Amino acid sequence: MDKNVTVMQAIVEDVATELYQLWYNSVPSEQRTEESSKAMAKNASETTFFVVQKFMDKFNAEAENLKSIDNNAEV
């Protein structure tokens, strides 16, 4: 189980880094500051975690729905 958590954490970190880079690159260079960069990094991490968590919640709910449909069909 710990290995799965580690893999998930690594994926979230990778996606957050890519999201941060996308946001950072969209800001004109003369407007980039250390403070705004830190804020973007924090927001990218929080946003990525939120999106992945919501996706997993919805994915798991649908899997449970499909499982119950399959179980009802077998009866």
pLDDT, tens digit, for every residue of 14-48? 999 999 999 999 999 999 999 999 999 999 999 99
* Residues 19 and 41 sit within 8 Å (Cβ to Cβ): no
**pLDDT at residue 74, as a whole number:** 66
**pLDDT at residue 58, as a whole number:** 96
Higher pLDDT, 74 or 63: 63
pTM over 0.85, yes/no = no
Alpha helix stretches (DSSP H) within 1-33: 2-26
pLDDT band of 53, cuts 50, 70, 90: very high
Q: Which two tokens stand for residue 16?
A: 């957050």
Q: Which two tokens stand for residue 23?
A: 């946001």
